[in-house]
């Protein structure tokens, strides 16, 4: 099991599955078949959704190894990372007031994307190790990825406001 | 609904029997019905050769409502009882209606639900009932032109329609006695009509400016698979608004006061529309307006001036265009083609602005009024089973995020917009009081953070939670959105496994019992015995199931051992003989028995399908990094 997958190939397989189980193929079928087709298609959609997104895929891969992210019970994070997050958040607030907000927002988005790529790299290496230390590092990486994702969504929202 | 031709009990129906199902474009201004005949999809005209049915219904004190041209002809004489643009009211609440304000010259009354009702001489009418009249007229037209009773249809809705609006559309179909094979989004239908599925791949923008709604969608096509990448729009913007700004201009120029009565307003709108349509080909249009005091006003509207009047409206279509590009993560130059839909796209100014925005000339060789109905007819033909090996597959997305109300009137999103449907999502809840046995869940749709800024879809009450201490219960609520974009909810208490009952109270829709009531009351059904109706419905269901099981057995009978096969055969024979007798409850029981006997078979067939799709692939193939699989 490795982290990297061929996204194009994933899409091809996804469509192959859809072609066979989608509710449109069962428009004339019994209620039972229609229900089953609906459930199966929803499951396939969810699977595709998880696998195509690196953060969700990472989280899912960890769950297959029985590693729980434990967001609800364990809220400790690397202090340096938290500090960086606070600093990014402040930057986002400043963008709102800035004159050249579009340019600043683009710069911030670039920075987040770069940090996401780095963290994905960190996860990839840690996950490949398959050791207790690796597992811990992979777990932290996924949690950091989730923080960064959230930040990226906020940037998206602000961008929408500014249109 | 005598669509299924019944063979003698025990006999298999002919495998390639030709059936008819229609495509219906239920539009704000005009509606159409289309069907595939001899391999060609075409819209069906009425007895006088007219294809477009104006979406206008006139209620009368005595007699059935009048729909279409005949209703429009007298609209200005009888404005309160003549209902136009009812699509704008579908799935809307009384508050939304107030916002639409002056553009709708009817009188509203509040019914029992939050759904507004229009006061007419034939009683208060819900928008669903008005739409059902339009659908009935189209159904009758199809039945007359095709010479067979038509019961199945694909009905199109704007891609941007929320759950309440889709549900209202489906309810209208039910009232009209139409079985909806699929609610298809209008842009997808347009893409199907243009045969874009024949292209190997590409990204297309569908710009749809109709009478009352604007939609912009990006579709990705890949070897016959349509995927909606993103969709946006404005469900209260269209050609009607252009007529209004022109009418207002005429009023200013002709010195007609703002308090013009409904009749005069109708006449003005008619003249405004005529001028707008004329200016599609001509550079100037002469207007002759009758004032109230019987004097006339003569004036000229040039295309250049028309442009300045409508530019603010056309410009409102551009931010949604930007948004879909951004949602899909592409630039305008990545779009391989632009398709124009809707009568308002005939306007040269619209074409000009669209060409400029996307940097290419849009496709417009199919009549923009008919393109959606034609696409719907093509899809209906596939769904009814006339093209068995058809590769076309239409994948849709949910247009607006689905969320739940949490503390402080905030929204927690559970399914983000543009998620491919069908989709299911489970969310766990707990009780906050000791011994609490019920829970209220408020579902909303929209992108904003506050509940009050989103559209309320429904309130669900979960009852029958076993009494426990606060926080001990774990109630898993599953939200399911089907291929039509319609939401359903189920709930289960996880620690005890007790199923909670879900009581749905749609915020703007009709409850099931209201619809049942309307069905009973409707003129069509009053003529026949209630029991006869039930029997016919059960027989249709039975025939559908018998045929489906027979088809499944002949295709995949090999998946069963002889004992399982014998059981299914027994229940199948049971249903066939129950069908032959006129006993509603016996047919119901036999349907249930056959349904449960085929449960394992159905699951096995689905698994076999999936295995077939994955055949020849090993899980390791999904790895491309070159590393050895670690587990």
Kindly report the CATH number assigned to the domain that includes residue B501.
2.60.34.10
Query: From residue B298, how far is each of B251, B253, B285 by CA, in Å?
Result: 12, 10, 11
Q: Any chain A CB within 8 A of the CB of B223? A: yes
According to the model, what pLDDT value does residue B327 have?
84
In a domain, B332, yes or no: no
Q: Express each pLDDT in B584-615 by its tens digit.
A: 889 999 999 998 899 899 989 888 888 877 77
In a domain, B356, yes or no: no
Cβ distance A32 to B595 less than 8 Å, yes or no, reads yes
In a domain, B203, yes or no: no
The C-alpha atoms of residue A13 and residue A8 are separated, in whole angstroms, by 9
Cβ distance B424 to A39 less than 8 Å, yes or no, reads yes
According to the model, what pLDDT value does residue B436 have?
86
Mean pLDDT confidence for B176-203: 88
The C-alpha atoms of residue B323 and residue B205 are separated, in whole angstroms, by 12
Kindly report the CATH number assigned to the domain that includes residue B29.
3.30.420.40
The C-alpha atoms of residue B307 and residue B348 are separated, in whole angstroms, by 9
Which DSSP letter does residue B623 get?
A: B
| Nearest neighbour of B393 by CB, restricted to A2, A24, A31 | A24
Instruction: Yes or no: say if B601 and B568 are a contact pair by the CB < 8 Å rule.
Output: yes
The total of structural domains in chain B comes to 4
Kindly report the CATH number assigned to the domain that includes residue B566.
1.20.1270.10
Which residue, among B297, B307, B232, B314, has the nearest Cα to B276 in the 3D structure?
Answer: B307
Instruction: Yes or no: say if B461 and B444 are a contact pair by the CB < 8 Å rule.
Output: no
Instruction: Yes or no: say if B23 and B377 are a contact pair by the CB < 8 Å rule.
Output: yes
Same domain, B283 and B149: no
In a domain, B352, yes or no: no
Domain ranges within chain A, ordered by starting residue: 7-52, 79-162
According to the model, what pLDDT value does residue B13 have?
44
For the cut 80, the answer to whether the pLDDT of residue B222 exceeds it is no
Contacts of A83 (CB under 8 A, 6+ apart): none
Q: What is the DSSP string of A5-50?
A: B-HHHHHHHHHHHHHHH-GGGGTTS-HHHHHHHHHHHHHHHHHHHH
Cα A161 from chain centroid (whole Å): 23
Residue B428 burial (10 A CB sphere; 0-12, 13-18, 19+)? exposed
Catalytic sites of B, residue numbers: 25, 87, 186, 208
Cα B432 from chain centroid (whole Å): 39
Residues of chain A with Cβ-Cβ distance to B617 below 8 Å are: 13
Same domain, B580 and B488: no
Residues of chain A with Cβ-Cβ distance to B223 below 8 Å are: 15
Cβ under 8 Å to A: B residues 252-291: none
Which DSSP letter does residue B101 get?
A: G
Same domain, B490 and B535: no
Threshold 0.80, pTM exceeds: no
* From A144-148, B324-328, B624-628, the region with the lowest mean pLDDT: B624-628
- Give the range of the structural domain holding residue B140, as residue numbers without chain letter: 22-187+375-391
- Helix, strand and coil content of chain B, in percent to the nearest 5, comes to 40, 25, 35
The C-alpha atoms of residue B123 and residue B117 are separated, in whole angstroms, by 9
For the cut 80, the answer to whether the pLDDT of residue B498 exceeds it is no
**Choice between B3 and B200, residue whose per-residue pLDDT is larger:** B200
Helix or strand (DSSP H, E) at B25: strand B22-26
**Choice between B210 and B183, residue whose per-residue pLDDT is larger:** B183
Q: With pLDDT > 70 as the criterion, what percentage of chain A qualifies?
A: 96
Q: What is the DSSP string of B408-430?
A: GGEEEEEE-TT-EESEEEEEEE-
> B interface mutation test: which of A36, A41, A109, A160 has the most B CBs within 10 A?
A41
Cβ distance B613 to A20 less than 8 Å, yes or no, reads yes
Instruction: Yes or no: say if B183 and B153 are a contact pair by the CB < 8 Å rule.
Output: no
Q: If you measure CA to CA, which chain A residue comes closest to B319?
A: A163
Choose the final residue of a domain: B313, B348, B366: B313
Kindly report the CATH number assigned to the domain that includes residue B271.
3.90.640.10
Residues of chain A with Cβ-Cβ distance to B599 below 8 Å are: 32
Q: What is the DSSP string of A55-85?
A: HHHHHHHHHHTT----TTT-----HHHHHHH
In a domain, B197, yes or no: no
Cβ distance A20 to B631 less than 8 Å, yes or no, reads no
Q: Express each pLDDT in A94-137 by its tens digit.
A: 888 878 888 888 888 899 999 999 999 999 999 988 788 888 88
The C-alpha atoms of residue B89 and residue A112 are separated, in whole angstroms, by 43
For the cut 90, the answer to whether the pLDDT of residue B278 exceeds it is yes
In a domain, B223, yes or no: no
> B interface mutation test: which of A29, A39, A40, A52 has the most B CBs within 10 A?
A29
For the cut 50, the answer to whether the pLDDT of residue B341 exceeds it is yes
Same domain, B415 and B387: no
Mean pLDDT confidence for B328-347: 92
Cβ under 8 Å to B: A residues 100-139: 128, 130
Same domain, B180 and B245: no
| Nearest neighbour of A36 by CB, restricted to B544, B602, B624 | B602
Same domain, B585 and B607: yes
Phi, psi of A100 (to 5 degrees): -100, 55
According to the model, what pLDDT value does residue B2 have?
34
Same domain, B41 and B163: yes
Residues of chain A with Cβ-Cβ distance to B552 below 8 Å are: 29-30, 33
Q: What is the DSSP string of B12-31?
A: PPPTT-----EEEEE-SSEE
Same domain, B169 and B269: no
Q: Express each pLDDT in A78-106 by its tens digit.
A: 888 888 888 888 888 888 887 888 888 88
Instruction: Yes or no: say if B204 and B339 are a contact pair by the CB < 8 Å rule.
Output: yes
Q: With pLDDT > 70 as the criterion, what percentage of chain B qualifies?
A: 86
Same domain, B452 and B580: no
Which DSSP letter does residue B571 get?
A: H
In a domain, B101, yes or no: yes
The CATH number that domain A79-162 falls under is: 1.20.1280
Query: From residue A162, how far is each of A98, A158, B273 by CA, in Å?
Result: 12, 6, 36
* From A5-19, B136-150, B252-266, the region with the lowest mean pLDDT: B252-266
What is the tally of helices (H) and strands (E) in chain B?
17, 28
User: In what side-by-side order are the strands of the sheet with B116-120?
Assistant: B108-110, B116-120, B123-125
The C-alpha atoms of residue B613 and residue B574 are separated, in whole angstroms, by 35
Instruction: Yes or no: say if B54 and B209 are a contact pair by the CB < 8 Å rule.
Output: no
Query: Kind of pairing, strands B225-234 and B393-397?
Result: parallel
* From A14-23, A72-81, B305-314, the region with the lowest mean pLDDT: A72-81
Cβ distance A20 to B610 less than 8 Å, yes or no, reads yes
Cβ distance B613 to A159 less than 8 Å, yes or no, reads no
Average pLDDT along chain B = 84
Cβ under 8 Å to B: A residues 69-88: none
The C-alpha atoms of residue A6 and residue B32 are separated, in whole angstroms, by 44
Q: Quick check: bond before B510 cis, omega within 30? A: no
Cβ distance B384 to A28 less than 8 Å, yes or no, reads yes
Helix or strand (DSSP H, E) at B354: helix B348-358
Same domain, B453 and B473: yes
According to the model, what pLDDT value does residue B503 have?
59
Joined tokens for residue B58: 């006139």
Per-residue confidence band for B388, with pLDDT thresholds at 50, 70 and 90: low
Dihedral sign for Cα atoms in the order B454, B458, B459, B461: negative
Task: State how far residue B297 is from chain A, nearest Cα, in angstroms.
Answer: 43
Q: How many CB pairs under 8 A join A and B?
A: 132
In a domain, B322, yes or no: no
Q: If you measure CA to CA, which chain B residue comes closest to A44?
A: B423
Helix or strand (DSSP H, E) at A87: helix A79-97
The C-alpha atoms of residue B301 and residue B279 are separated, in whole angstroms, by 9
Cβ under 8 Å to A: B residues 479-538: 480, 482-483
Instruction: Yes or no: say if B107 and B145 are a contact pair by the CB < 8 Å rule.
Output: no
Q: Any chain B CB within 8 A of the CB of A1? A: yes
Residues of chain A with Cβ-Cβ distance to B610 below 8 Å are: 17, 20-21, 40
Q: What is the ipTM of this complex?
A: 0.79
Dihedral sign for Cα atoms in the order B210, B201, A153, A69: positive
Same domain, B460 and B538: no
The C-alpha atoms of residue B130 and residue B331 are separated, in whole angstroms, by 42
């Amino acid at each position: 099991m490795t982290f990297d997958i061929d996204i194009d190939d994933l899409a091809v397989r996804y469509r192959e599955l859809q072609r066979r189980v989608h509710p449109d193929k069962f428009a004339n079928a019994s209620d039972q078949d229609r229900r089953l087709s609906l459930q199966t298609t929803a499951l396939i959609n969810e699977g595709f959704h998880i696998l195509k997104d690196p953060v969700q895929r990472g989280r899912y891969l960890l769950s297959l190894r029985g590693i729980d992210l434990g967001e609800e019970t364990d809220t400790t994070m690397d202090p340096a990372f938290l500090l960086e997050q606070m600093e990014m958040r402040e930057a986002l607030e400043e963008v709102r007031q800035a004159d050249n907000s579009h340019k600043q927002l683009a710069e911030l988005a670039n920075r987040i994307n770069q940090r996401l790529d780095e963290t994905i790299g960190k996860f990839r290496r840690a996950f490949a190790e398959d050791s207790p230390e690796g597992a811990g590092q992979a777990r932290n990486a996924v949690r950091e990825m989730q923080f960064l994702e959230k930040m990226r969504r906020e940037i998206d929202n602000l961008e929408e406001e500014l249109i | 609904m005598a669509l299924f031709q019944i063979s003698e009990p025990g006999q298999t129906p002919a495998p390639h029997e030709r059936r008819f199902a229609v495509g219906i474009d239920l539009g704000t201004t005009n509606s159409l019905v289309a069907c595939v005949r001899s391999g060609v999809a075409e819209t069906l005209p009425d007895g006088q050769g007219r294809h477009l049915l104006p979406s206008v219904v006139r209620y009368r004190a005595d007699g059935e409502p009048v729909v279409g041209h005949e209703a429009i002809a007298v609209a200005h004489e009888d404005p309160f009882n003549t209902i136009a643009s009812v699509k704008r009211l579908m799935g809307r609440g009384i508050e939304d209606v107030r916002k639409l304000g002056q553009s709708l010259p009817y009188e509203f009354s509040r019914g029992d639900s939050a759904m507004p009702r229009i006061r007419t001489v034939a009683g208060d009418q819900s928008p669903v009932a008005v739409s059902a009249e339009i659908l009935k007229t189209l159904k009758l037209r199809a039945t007359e032109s095709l010479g067979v009773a038509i019961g199945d249809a694909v009905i199109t809705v704007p891609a941007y329609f929320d759950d309440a609006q889709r549900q209202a559309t489906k309810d209208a179909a039910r009232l009209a006695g139409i079985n909806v094979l699929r609610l298809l989004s209008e842009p997808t239908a347009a893409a199907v009509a243009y045969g874009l599925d024949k292209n190997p791949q590409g990204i297309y923008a569908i710009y749809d400016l109709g009478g009352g709604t604007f939609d912009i969608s990006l579709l990705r096509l890949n070897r016959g698979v349509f995927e909606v990448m993103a969709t946006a729009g404005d469900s209260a913007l269209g050609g009607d608004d252009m007529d209004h700004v022109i009418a207002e201009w005429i009023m200013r120029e002709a010195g007609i006061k703002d308090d013009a009565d409904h009749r005069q307003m109708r006449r003005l709108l008619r003249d405004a529309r005529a001028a707008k349509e004329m200016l599609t080909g001509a550079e100037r249009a002469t207007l002759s307006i009758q004032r109230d005091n019987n004097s006339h006003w003569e004036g000229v509207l040039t295309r250049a001036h028309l442009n300045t009047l409508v530019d603010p409206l056309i410009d409102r279509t551009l931010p949604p265009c930007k948004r879909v590009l951004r949602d899909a993560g592409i630039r305008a130059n990545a779009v391989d083609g632009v398709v124009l839909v809707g009568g308002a796209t005939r306007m040269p100014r619209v074409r000009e602005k669209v060409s400029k925005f996307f940097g290419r000339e849009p496709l417009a060789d199919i009549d923009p009024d008919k393109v959606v109905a034609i696409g719907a007819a093509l899809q209906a033909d596939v769904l009814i089973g006339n093209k068995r090996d058809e590769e076309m597959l239409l994948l849709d997305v949910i247009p607006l995020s689905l969320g739940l109300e949490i503390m402080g009137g905030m929204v927690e999103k559970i399914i983000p917009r543009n998620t491919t449907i069908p989709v299911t999502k489970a969310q766990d809840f707990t009780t906050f009081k000791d011994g609490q046995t019920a829970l209220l869940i408020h579902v909303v749709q929209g992108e904003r953070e506050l509940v009050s800024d989103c559209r309320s879809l429904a309130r669900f009450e979960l009852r029958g939670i076993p009494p426990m201490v606060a926080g001990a219960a774990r109630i898993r609520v599953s939200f399911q959105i089907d291929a039509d974009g319609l939401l359903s909810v189920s709930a289960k208490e996880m620690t005890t496994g007790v199923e909670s009952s879900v009581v749905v109270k749609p915020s703007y829709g009709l409850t099931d019992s209201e619809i049942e009531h309307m069905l009973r009351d409707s003129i069509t059904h009053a003529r026949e015995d209630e029991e006869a109706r039930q029997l016919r419905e059960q027989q249709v269901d039975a025939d559908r199931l018998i045929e489906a099981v027979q088809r499944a057995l002949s295709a995949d009978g090999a998946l069963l051992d002889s004992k399982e096969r014998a059981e299914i055969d027994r229940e199948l024979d049971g249903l066939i003989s129950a069908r032959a007798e006129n006993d509603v409850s016996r047919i119901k029981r036999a349907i249930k028995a056959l349904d449960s006997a085929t449960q394992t078979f159905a699951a096995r067939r689905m698994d076999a399908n999936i295995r077939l799709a994955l055949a020849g692939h090993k899980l390791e193939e999904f790895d491309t990094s070159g590393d050895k699989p670690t587990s």
